[in-house]
Amino acid sequence: MTEVVVIDAWLGGLAIGLYGVAQLLLTGKQLGVSSGYGSICALGSRADYFRSGSHAVRNDWRLYFLLGIPLGGLLAALTSEGPIVASLSLGPLYDRVFPQALWAKAALLFAGGTAMGYGSRLAGGCTSGHVITGVALLNWPSMVAGGCFFLGGIAAVQLLFRALG
Amino acid sequence: MRWVFVPLGMLFGFLLSRAGATTYDYYAKLFLFEDFQLLWVILTAAAVGMVGIALVARLRTRALLGGGIDLRKKPYTRSLIVGSLIFGIGWGLAGACPGTALAMLGEGKLGAAFSIAGLLCGTYLFGRRAGAQPTDISRVDR
């Protein structure tokens, strides 16, 4: 697995916070990721949901934003010391509790992704839109959402590591 | 203007990685209360954003690249709590969030590809079931 450089939390948070403000000032758009997955779905679906509201405009900015993020991950890996290693490893902790069989591992990760995709649409945003942007806007529903994100995460991980660890 | 979001996304993905948000272990440690790296990242980002957005709002300016600045707040809905809990379960299970999964893929963490496929599937299932969104991006002006 690629080992990337990790900086102090306060510095990372400062940089991400400033990024969000800069994006807003530059483009007028709030930082948020999850609705971008809807923009991808809109490319191949005729459902009304993907033809209205935030997806009324085809090929919107979110698609381009989502295209850039993996490039940023690649850049971060290239500028870290070790080699880039393509790997299915989930790191020492998750590897200890996740099944070894590829299909079972893939199924769990897929289930996690599905829960995030469905849940974020029900909730109206994800970690970036609700927690970082929403809390920064002093928006109380976003604070409620953020608290529930953490409750769900704690429940899932505690269960995973206690049942299988 | 849309193309500017490719370098912007790239910068965001890079920062997520440097902050540790693309490292699976930090998610497990966060939810096991062993290491609060990601909590401090999120709280610092939100605090910095709070000051920055307040300043941007004071400027009463248009976006530098044109257009208005979106300062709308996401509304409370009946499905917000259950949706957030479902999201949180997925967050803990996948050891990634919708943004970081994409950056992880760029780093060669291939497990994220399954999470991304799931994210598309979950979003698609929701969209199939839901009706049309309100015209104004399902948020309210306040």
Place of tokens 């991808």: A40
DSSP class per residue in B82-117: HHHHHHHHHHHHHTS-HHHHHHHHHHTBTHHHHHHH
Residue B138 predicted with pLDDT over 70: no
CA B86, B90, B93, B96 torsion-angle sign: negative
Which candidate from A7, A37, A108 shows the least CB-CB separation from B120? A37
d(CA B45, CA A15): 7
Query: What is the SS3 assignment for B142?
Result: coil
Is A120 close to B87, i.e. CB distance below 8 A?
Answer: yes
pLDDT 10s per residue in chain A (165 long)? 999 999 999 999 999 999 999 999 999 999 999 999 999 999 999 899 999 888 888 889 999 999 999 999 999 999 999 899 999 999 999 999 999 999 999 999 999 999 999 999 999 999 999 999 999 999 999 999 999 999 999 999 999 999 876
Is B13 close to A152, i.e. CB distance below 8 A?
Answer: no
Residue B58 predicted with pLDDT over 60: yes
How far out from the chain centre does Cα B13 lie? 11
Complex ipTM more than 0.95, yes or no: yes
Residue B77 dihedral angles phi and psi, to the nearest 5°? -130, 165
What pLDDT score was predicted for residue A57? Answer: 85
Which positions ≥6 away from B78 have C-beta within 8 Å?
A: none
From A137, A153, A114, select the one nearest A20 (Cα to Cα): A137
| A106 membership: H or E segment, kind and range | helix A102-123
Is B91 close to A149, i.e. CB distance below 8 A?
Answer: yes
Query: What is the SS3 assignment for A84?
Result: coil
Alpha-carbon gap: B29 to the closest alpha carbon of chain A (Å): 8
Which candidate from B65, B98, B122 shows the least CB-CB separation from A27? B65
Nearest CA in chain B to A115: B90
Nearest CA in chain A to B47: A136
Alpha-carbon gap: B60 to the closest alpha carbon of chain A (Å): 11
Is A116 close to B73, i.e. CB distance below 8 A?
Answer: no
Phi/psi zone of residue B20: left (φ > 0), alpha (ψ -120 to 50 degrees), beta? Answer: left
| A153 membership: H or E segment, kind and range | helix A140-164
Which candidate from B3, B120, B132 shows the least CB-CB separation from A117? B120
Place of tokens 């909590």: B39
d(CA A99, CA A89): 11
Is B14 close to A72, i.e. CB distance below 8 A?
Answer: yes
Residue B131 predicted with pLDDT over 90: no
Number of Cβ within a 10 Å radius of residue B23:
25
What pLDDT score was predicted for residue B136? Answer: 54
Residue B7 predicted with pLDDT over 80: yes
d(CA B125, CA A115): 11
Is A120 close to B137, i.e. CB distance below 8 A?
Answer: no
d(CA B118, CA A155): 20
pLDDT digits (tens, 9 = 90+) for B76-120: 999 999 999 999 999 999 999 999 999 999 999 999 999 999 999
Is B45 close to A110, i.e. CB distance below 8 A?
Answer: no
A76: which chain B residues are within 8 Å (Cβ-Cβ)? 13-14, 17-18, 22, 103, 106-107
Max Cα-Cα span within chain A: 47
A17: which chain B residues are within 8 Å (Cβ-Cβ)? 44-49, 52
What pLDDT score was predicted for residue A16? Answer: 98
What residue spans of A46-101 are helical by DSSP H? 61-78, 91-97
d(CA A132, CA B127): 24
Which candidate from A70, A122, A155 shows the least CB-CB separation from B102? A70
Kindly indicate the confidence band of residue B139, based on its pLDDT and cuts at 50, 70 and 90. Answer: very low
